């Protein structure tokens, strides 16, 4: 038998941010790069660790983060990220050096791809003499909004005065001041400091973005103008890696059976993602709005949806009896499968970027109720640029909720939105197929990594 040369499989290191919406697209990225012939070392914080058994081909490197030594208030994302950047640098350097010592020369590590929140990785890459690239799990439009914070502060526009909240932001004409991702994440100064760190590319050689060219062509050009680095818009990654399993929580798959028994496009799916929290009164308004809409609904109420409350106490008295079989409530859904289900006709969402891409890819029109961070930017694009969503630009109130659901699910207005959503779905498919822009960008990324 002929002696076959062993196939070279260079390794890439992937370091996600420690949240569901950051881990999922990076697991997808790993799956895609693995299918293109790379080995994948997935280095993650112990906090919110993914399940290695879902990705038996990856090497997992847990990074001790010592979070237990710090007092972090619930929802203080800036404090959490700042501490992780301090605590994870040494563990990554040590763990990676050990792995690199074990790897054959031809399979050596070629680069570190790190989530924009995990900027400590750049100095590890420098120490280990590796190339590095930044992964952005959000849109280019949101990136531009964050990049504007320092300028808007210097020009005296932010923090915005109460009366200016509805005014359009100079330089970001689609956004109102209330859409700018600022102090919801802590103090304005903290948000700006974090943004400066996230936006500083240091010695990184490229930016990979989970976005799609046709969704935001001008914003992508503007972004590239600001960052004269290689730029790879390769989204939506969940379509490129359809079998990748990335959920940190166990999804309740019984809801798919419930969906099987509903009429086509009749169900409104409701979820505010993995991080957003509600007041108990807001949750009650959601409940009674859903009840009075008369539409079947699948509602995700996470066990931590309302801090310091027992889940069983969250659902208002009499609600379950009122809605009966018309409603299905779960603590965590298999969202991508739900959105692809024929019975789902609308998504009331907080407009996280992954949810946005998943809904658009499934052709499901949305009710946009953004909570914080980039969600308000995404909501503006969904409702005003792509026109596949209705903006719920109000305090949660049952009457407004009922009306929004009826407009999307029943009225003629909703039918027109559905046609546009279907059109966008087709464009997403084209983008990731041979000849499409994301497809080409992914191949360029592979060539770029192989050139190291
Ligand atoms: N998700 C899920 N089940 C749920 C709710 C959310 O699988 O019940 C997933 C969803 O598919 C998406 C991610 O969690 O991939 C949420 O990310 P997104 O960027 O939309 O929002 P975030 O959680 O970061 O606010």
Tell me what the mean pLDDT of segment 401-410 comes to.
Answer: 97
Percent of the chain predicted with pLDDT > 90: 85
The Cα–Cα gap between 163 and 176 comes to 12
User: In the predicted model, is pLDDT for residue 75 greater than 80?
Assistant: no
End-to-end CA gap in the chain? 34
What mean pLDDT do residues 372-383 have? 96
159 pLDDT band, cuts 50/70/90, is confident
Provide φ and ψ at 366, rounded to 5°.
-125, 155
Using a 6 Å cutoff on CB, does residue 24 contact ligand 1? yes
- Residue of the nearest CA to atom 2 in ligand 1? 335
Minimum CA distance residue for ligand 1 atom 13: 21
Alpha-carbon separation of residue 326 from 188, 258, 284, 403 (angstroms): 43, 10, 17, 18
Residue whose Cα lies nearest atom 6 of ligand 1: it is 273
Which residues, other chains included, contact 59 with Cβ-Cβ below 8 Å and sequence gap of 6+? 11, 39, 40, 41, 42, 99
Within a 13 Å sphere around the CA of 290, how many CA atoms are in the beta-carbon half? 31
Answer yes or no: is the C-beta of 273 below 6 A from any ligand 1 atom: yes
Amino acid 174: pLDDT: 93
Q: State in Å: Cα 27 to ligand 1 middle.
A: 14
- Reported as a single tens digit per residue, the pLDDT across 167-204 is 999 999 899 999 988 756 667 888 888 889 998 999 99
Whats the size of the chain, residue-wise? 452
Which string of DSSP letters, residue by residue, matches 255-284? Answer: HHHHHHTS-TT-EEEEE-TTT----HHHHH
Q: How far apart are CA 237 and CA 14, in angstroms?
A: 15
Q: What is the pLDDT of residues 202-254, one digit of tens each?
A: 999 999 999 999 999 999 999 999 998 999 999 999 999 987 789 999 999 99
* Residue-level pLDDT at 2: 46
Residue 171 token pair: 């330089």
Model pLDDT for residues 4-31, shown as the tens digit of each residue: 555 789 999 999 999 999 999 999 999 9
Residue 313 CA to residue 6 CA, distance in Å, equals: 60
Which position has the token pair 């719920």?
Answer: 392
Instruction: Evaluate: CB of 244 within 6 angstroms of ligand 1.
Output: no
Predicted local confidence at residue 380, as pLDDT:
97
3-state secondary structure of 398: helix
C-alpha distances in Å from residue 369, one per residue of 140, 311, 323: 20, 22, 23
Q: Where are the alpha helices (DSSP H) in 88-187?
A: 89-102, 121-127, 140-147, 149-154
In this predicted model, what pLDDT tens digit does every residue of 312-368 receive, in sequence order? 899 999 999 999 999 999 999 999 999 999 999 999 999 999 999 999 999 999 999
Inform me whether the pLDDT recorded for 158 exceeds 90.
no
Instruction: Give the residue, out of 353, 354, 372, with the most ligand 1 atoms within 8 A of its beta carbon, to mutate for a pocket test.
Output: 354
Rounded to the nearest 10°, the torsion over CA 106, 135, 77, 86 is 40
Torsion angle, CA of 203/208/213/218, rounded to 10 degrees? -30
Instruction: Tell me the average pLDDT of the chain.
Output: 94
Q: Is the pLDDT of residue 83 over 90?
A: yes
Within 10 angstroms of residue 407's Cβ, the number of other Cβ atoms is 16
ipTM above 0.95, yes or no: yes
163 confidence band (pLDDT: 50, 70, 90):
confident
- Residue 22, SS3 per DSSP: helix
pLDDT score for 1: 43
Residue 394's pLDDT is what? 78
Distance (angstroms) between ligand 1 centre and the Cα of 111 equals: 28
How far, rounded to the nearest angstrom, does the alpha carbon of residue 212 sit from its chain's CA centroid? 14
For residue 3, is pLDDT > 60?
no
**Quick check: 65 pLDDT over 60?**
yes
Contacts 24+ apart (CB under 8 A), 77-80: 77/185, 77/186, 77/275, 78/185, 78/186, 78/190, 78/191, 78/194, 79/186, 80/18, 80/47
Task: Give pLDDT, residue 238.
Answer: 97
| Distance from residue 122's CA to the centre of ligand 1 (Å) | 27
pLDDT tens, position by position, 263-311: 999 999 999 999 999 999 999 999 999 999 999 999 999 999 998 899 9
């Amino acid at each position: 038998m002929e002696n076959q040369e062993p196939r070279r499989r260079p390794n890439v290191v992937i370091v996600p941010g420690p949240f569901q919406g950051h881990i999922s697209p990076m697991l997808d990225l790993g799956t895609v790069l693995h299918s293109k012939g790379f080995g994948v070392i997935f280095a993650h914080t112990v906090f919110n660790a993914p399940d290695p058994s879902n990705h038996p081909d990856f090497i997992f490197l847990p990074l001790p983060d010592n979070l237990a030594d710090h007092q972090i208030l619930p929802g203080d994302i800036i404090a959490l990220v700042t501490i992780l950047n301090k605590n994870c640098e040494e563990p990554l350097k040590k763990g990676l050096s050990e792995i690199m010592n074990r790897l054959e020369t031809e399979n050596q590590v070629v680069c570190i791809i790190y989530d924009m929140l995990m900027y400590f990785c750049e100095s590890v890459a420098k120490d280990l003499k590796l190339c590095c690239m930044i992964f952005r799990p959000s849109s280019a439009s949101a990136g531009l909004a964050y990049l504007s914070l320092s300028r808007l502060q210097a020009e005296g526009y932010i923090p915005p005065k109460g009366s200016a909240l509805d005014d359009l932001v100079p330089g970001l004409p689609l956004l109102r001041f209330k859409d700018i991702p600022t102090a919801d994440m802590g103090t304005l100064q903290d948000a700006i400091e974090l943004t400066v760190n996230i936006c500083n590319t240091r010695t990184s050689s490229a930016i990979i973005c989970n976005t799609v060219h046709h969704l935001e062509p001008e914003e992508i050009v503007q972004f590239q103008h600001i960052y004269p680095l290689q730029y790879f818009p390769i989204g939506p990654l969940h379509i490129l890696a359809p079998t990748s399993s990335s959920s940190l929580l166990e999804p309740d798959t019984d809801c798919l059976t419930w969906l099987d028994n509903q009429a086509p496009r009749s169900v409104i799916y409701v979820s505010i993602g993995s991080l957003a929290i509600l007041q108990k009164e807001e949750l009650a308004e959601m409940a009674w709005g859903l009840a009075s809409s008369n539409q079947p609904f699948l509602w995700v109420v996470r066990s931590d949806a309302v801090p310091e409350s027992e889940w069983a106490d969250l659902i208002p008295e009499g609600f379950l009896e009122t809605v009966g079989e018309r409603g299905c409530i779960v603590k965590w859904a298999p969202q991508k499968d739900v959105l692809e289900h024929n019975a789902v006709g609308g998504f009331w969402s907080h407009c996280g970027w992954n949810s946005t891409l998943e809904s658009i890819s499934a052709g499901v029109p949305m009710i946009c109720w953004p909570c914080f961070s980039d969600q308000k930017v995404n909501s503006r694009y969904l409702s005003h640029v792509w026109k596949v969503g209705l903006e719920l630009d109000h305090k949660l109130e049952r009457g407004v909720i009922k009306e929004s659901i009826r407009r999307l699910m029943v009225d003629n207005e909703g039918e027109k939105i559905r046609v546009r959503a279907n059109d966008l779905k087709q464009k997403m498919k084209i983008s990731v197929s041979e000849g499409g822009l994301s497809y080409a960008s992914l191949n360029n990324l592979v060539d770029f990594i192989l050139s190291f």
